[in-house]
Amino acid sequence: MRNLLVIAVLIALCTVGAESFRVRRQDTEEEGTMTLVMDSLKGYYDTTITTASGYLDNLKGMRLEEKAKNLFEETTTAVKTYGGILQDQLYHLFTQSH
């Protein structure tokens, strides 16, 4: 019976020692994993920023802002012109009937 108790205590001590070693090893692995994950995220972020900057440079190169401004001005001019024509037509329609 005492031999069984001594063996149980030794197994328990070995198990505790093995578990503590295992936890340390997992901590080291988790730190390595976290470092890898953070490095990957930083890489993705840098790639995204670089790609977005490239797209913005391309858009500026196409001069889309200038084209949009010209389109707005042309549309505004056309609406004013046709609005004026419509106003004249309505004015003449109502003044001739009186």
pLDDT at 13: 64
pTM of the complete model = 0.37
The phi-psi region of residue 75 (left if phi > 0; otherwise alpha if psi is between -120 and 50; otherwise beta) is alpha
pLDDT at 97: 64
pLDDT at 54: 83
pLDDT at 21: 46
Output the tens digit of pLDDT for each of the chain's 98 residues: 666 777 777 677 666 554 444 445 555 555 677 788 788 888 888 888 888 888 878 777 777 778 888 889 999 999 999 999 999 998 888 888 65
CA distance 74 to 29: 64
CA distance 33 to 26: 10
* Segments of 1-97 assigned E as strands: none
